[in-house]
Structure 1
Amino acid sequence: MLLALALRWLAFGWMLIVALVSGQIQRPVEASVALLATGCWTAWLTLAAVRRTRLVLAMDVAVAIALTVLYGYVFSPHAMLTNHPSFMGAYPAAAVAACGVVYRVRGGCAAGLILGLSLPFAYAANEIALDELSFLQVMTMIGSGLSYVLLGGTIGAAARQLDALHERATRDGERAARMAERQRIAAQIHDDVLQQLGRLRGSIREMSAGPVLDAVAEGIARQESALRGLGSAEPDPPPPGVVSLRSHLAQLAQRYTGVPVRLVTAGPFPLPTGMATEIVAAVAELLTNVVKHAQANQVWLTVLPDGGDITVTVRDNGVGFRTDQDTDGLGLRLSVRARVHRMAGSVRIRSSPGHGTEVQLRVPKGNGHA
């Protein structure tokens, strides 16, 4: 609307210039009254910060029609058939633009059509016989009318797109604020509450001598799991057919109570359901292998973006193995690779005796199965 108002003032300045230098105005009194009324109308719209109601917009279109017809009346006869600068300039277009801003495409096209239909009356006021117009002159008049319709539709479409961008920016800002607050709470839970609960659970297990203390330790473990789930919960539900890889991997990691699994991700990673299911299944096999064979006391599960791919890494501090000789490792590699290869991905394994094992799954984002 501010752009339409700026256009309005520029058009009004053009009207003043044409009125002063054109030398074609045959009725200066009527032209002066029109300029004064247009200036007052423009100033009222600006200073009063008028809300663009239906009545105000209708009056604005009426002013534009009046200026269009008046142009033919105050100028010398047949001036509209020449290339002389228009007295009304782009001022009527500002009314069409205002309707497009408020009522979008339909409003802008309707205002442009109404204004275009006033052109024959302007020709008549300029003493031009419509039945004597040549084909080119008729097409010129029709083209001028259609330009108003096109302007109104374009402004309406642009206003709709700007509204959509504004709403999206607002939603993204609110989501970012929620995520920042969630991360702050999750960090506080991890640094304070979870650490205290972990130490308390360890102390209880050391001194446990009966089912009562065992039950207390189990209850503390359940509260730890619930708090971890609260910290990793997604701020917004994913769309249908899409799931959060981070959420599913967090649920998987919580099931392995014998070996602590630390999950580190760079985001929720929304993926098609089929793709996420395959990745989680492959990671589950890797974690099961760690529990059975690695003799590890810590596992790191990392999910990071890498260009157009997703890399999921499972690393432990266990005993490791020689990748060229370990037959159990060979079977695991074949099982995991079969899942990853179905998604056009790749698997890389690094391990050596006494130095743990690292398995990296690389999957292209666009090769999932919904």
Structure 2
Amino acid sequence: MPPESLRHPAPMLLVLALRWLAFGWMLVVAVLSGQIQRPVEAGVVLVVTGCWTAWLTLAAVRRMGYVLAVDLALAVVLIVAYGHVYPPDAVLTDHPSFMGAYPTAAVAACGVVHRLPGGAAAGALLGLFLPFAYAANEVAMTSLSFLQVLTMIGWGLSYVLLGGAVGVAAGQLDGLHRQIARSGKQAARLAERQRLVARIHDDVLQDFARLRARIGELSDRPALSAVAEGIARQETVLRELALSGPSTSQPGSASLRDRLAGLAERHEGIPVRLVASGAVWLPGDVVDEIGAVVAELLTNVVKHARARRVWLTILHDGEHIVVSVRDDGVGFVPERETGGLGLRLSVRARVERLAGRTRIRSGPGRGTEVELRVPVALAVGGER
């Protein structure tokens, strides 16, 4: 049964309207037909039915299972009372029915809540009690003709078909309701994304550009040049994030962002922050290779870096796929490092098989950044 928040309210409101119309018809028949043989019993049934309908209208129904059970029980009482309050053999005539269409409201309500199976089952249950209405009207089942038996069976089947039809219609309406709700959420997310893109473009990127230009004016020292280079890289990442649209997969491809996001989520011990310029769709074998390289780098950070945080960046700059793993650990001097056999064999070798290259930036106390740069043309399907 779908959650209450995902159900469209229209079907149950229509069922409630049917209840009041059916109850009004019961009053008209009881007053004008002149066929009621037991007015006291008919009056009690009318009062109970009216009170039940009013309660359903005014109450905030919470335990729907109990409510539907009581509703079906009242429908059964109406079916049997129909035969009881009328003169004998009245059910075999074409006189207006005292119960009218009210029992169908209970069947329809079950169809709205429990869809096709619930509506059909409720209709079948009411159909099984039709012989009791005949018995209450002093009609022996053995005295019924073939056509009269078919009429009773058709009466029961109409309940089943009604419940099933209402269940199917309610399910389809709820499906449309959920689809519209999802479309509304997507539109809201798109509007929020456009607002963030405008904020990034108007504020952050312009501040980056001014800061980079100011650093270039101050000095040509290598340290400041490295800072300006880092600012330029982050500026490029933010620009790609702002310009990237919704991603769609391609046949035989996999999302590099999703693969590395999975590695970041499963990484234990050190928080990994992922920044990606879109999904970056690549052939599955290329994603496997890059994923294995990043996994090795994250393992090295845990073993050797004594870092508190790790930044994982994915950038598609048009010509290359650039993946950067940076930590704030103890760092090292790459030229003097003699124990990096795993780094050379597992990382450099894998990247070179993709016609890419590896760049290491590190220093004592400055953390480490390993940048993987793979040509897009070869990664997407060219000869490697």
The residue that corresponds to 2:58 in the other structure is: 47
Matches within 5 A, 1:247-262: 254-255=318-319
5+ unaligned residues in a row in structure 1: which ranges?
257-370
Q: Find the aligned partners of 1:26 and 1:242 in 2 and give their Cα distance.
A: 77
The residue that corresponds to 2:30 in the other structure is: 19
Range 18-27 or range 213-222, more displaced: 213-222
Give yes or no for the alignment of 1:35 onto 2:46.
yes
Equivalent pair of 1:234/1:247 in contact (CA under 8 Å)? no
Give yes or no for the alignment of 1:84 onto 2:92.
no
Normalised by the size of structure 1, how large is the TM-score? 0.62
5+ unaligned residues in a row in structure 2: which ranges?
1-11, 256-277, 282-313, 321-384
Matches within 5 A, 1:1-370: 1-202=12-213, 204-205=215-216, 209-233=220-244, 254-255=318-319
CA deviation after TM superposition for structure 1 residue 195, in Å = 2.3
Q: Find the aligned partners of 2:14 and 2:151 in 1 and give their Cα distance.
A: 28
User: What per-residue deviation string (whole Å, max 9, x for no partner) do you get for residues 107-143 of structure 1?
Assistant: 2111111001111111122222222222222222111
Q: Give the share of equivalent positions with the same residue, in percent.
A: 65
**Residue identity in the other structure for 1:179:** L
Q: Find the aligned partners of 2:15 and 2:233 in 1 and give their Cα distance.
A: 61
Equivalent pair of 1:100/1:109 in contact (CA under 8 Å)? yes
User: What per-residue deviation string (whole Å, max 9, x for no partner) do you get for residues 176-229 of structure 1?
Assistant: 222211111111111222123234434555676343343223212111112123
Secondary structure of 2:37's match?
coil
Q: Find the aligned partners of 2:164 and 2:16 in 1 and give their Cα distance.
A: 18
How many residues are aligned here?
258
CA deviation after TM superposition for structure 1 residue 104, in Å = 1.9
Range 26-35 or range 230-239, more displaced: 230-239
Distance 1:187 1:242, change over 3 A: farther
Equivalent pair of 1:52/1:102 in contact (CA under 8 Å)? no
**Residue identity in the other structure for 1:225:** T
Secondary structure of 1:166's match?
helix
Equivalent pair of 1:96/1:108 in contact (CA under 8 Å)? yes
Equivalent pair of 2:122/2:163 in contact (CA under 8 Å)? yes
Secondary structure of 1:5's match?
helix
Secondary structure of 1:62's match?
helix
User: What per-residue deviation string (whole Å, max 9, x for no partner) do you get for residues 89-117 of structure 1?
Assistant: 11001111111222222221111110011
Normalised by the size of structure 2, how large is the TM-score? 0.60
Equivalent pair of 1:178/1:235 in contact (CA under 8 Å)? no
Please report the RMSD computed on the Cα atoms of aligned residues, expressed in angstroms. Answer: 3.1
The residue that corresponds to 1:334 in the other structure is: none
Equivalent pair of 2:90/2:137 in contact (CA under 8 Å)? yes
